[in-house]
Amino acid sequence: MFNPLAFFAASLRSRDQNRSVVSERPSGFFFAYASLAMAQHPGRKWVLLGVATIAWGSHGLAATTLHFDPTYVDAGLQLAADGREFPLTHSPTIEAGATPVATPVAPSTRFGEARSMRWQLLGGYTNDFDGAGQEQFGASVSWFFIDDLSIDLQLDSNYISQTGSNVWGLEGALLFRWHFISMETWSLYADAGCGVLGTTEPTPVGGTDFNFTPQAGGGLSFDLTEEVRLMVGVRWYHISNANTGETNPGRNSVLGYAMISFPF
């Protein structure tokens, strides 16, 4: 009759003879105890056979040697059984003492740097101190063709209150601006240029509905953030049809304005 317990005992003895690393806990003790117990309690032979099987497997686990090899950085643990390498990842190794190289960050463009561009939102008010006022709202684009010297294109809407009828107008202007004192976070500048203004009614009264707007002045710019700058200034502002109409009453005013400047 086949005896399963005797079969497991023979298998274990054969494996122990071929293993180079032997467990410190001999499994013979478990099988001797199991044989005695089965002789005394035949009805429990299958339970005792299961115990013997677990003992046989744990004998092999106890004979396994695990090695720790921390040669892989950022790769967790590298474990190997019986001295054989068994890497968990394929992360590249980093030599001891190596210094990480930082990726250089390109510096931001300095305000007023040659070939840089900016755009502005603007608002202003002119007064001729003789009963006429002019409100302006618009936007402009600046291109610095050399350091601190820009050419500006400006487009703004206007509401002009004057003796007689008030009028709406649209103006486009070309200006040059020189930041003659240019510091890291602020500057002083002078600007000058000329525009053209079209209105819904003649302005000044008795003039024409198409006029030229020569202007010149100066101002101060300073940083609000690393890239956003506030510009405030004052200009002499003139409205004239340059004698293209029957009459040319003209108007001289003082323009105060503010602009918020952003980089492209």
Residue-wise pLDDT tens digits, 177-214: 999 999 999 999 999 999 999 999 999 999 999 999 99
Q: Where are the domains of the chain?
A: 4-62, 117-263
pLDDT band at 50 (very low <50, low <70, confident <90, very high): low
Top CATH class, 117-263: mainly beta
- Whose CA is closest to 256, among 205, 210, 208, 220? 220
Mean pLDDT of the chain: 79
Phi/psi of residue 254, nearest 5 degrees: -105, 125
Q: How many CB atoms lie within 10 A of CB 200?
A: 13
Q: By three-state DSSP, how is residue 106 classified?
A: coil
Q: Would you state the structure tokens that stand for residue 17, as one six-digit string?
A: 């003879």
Contact 199, 222 (CB under 8 A): no
Could you tell me the pTM of the whole model? 0.61
The CA–CA distances, whole Å, from 63 to 12, 23, 58, 59 equal 13, 5, 9, 7
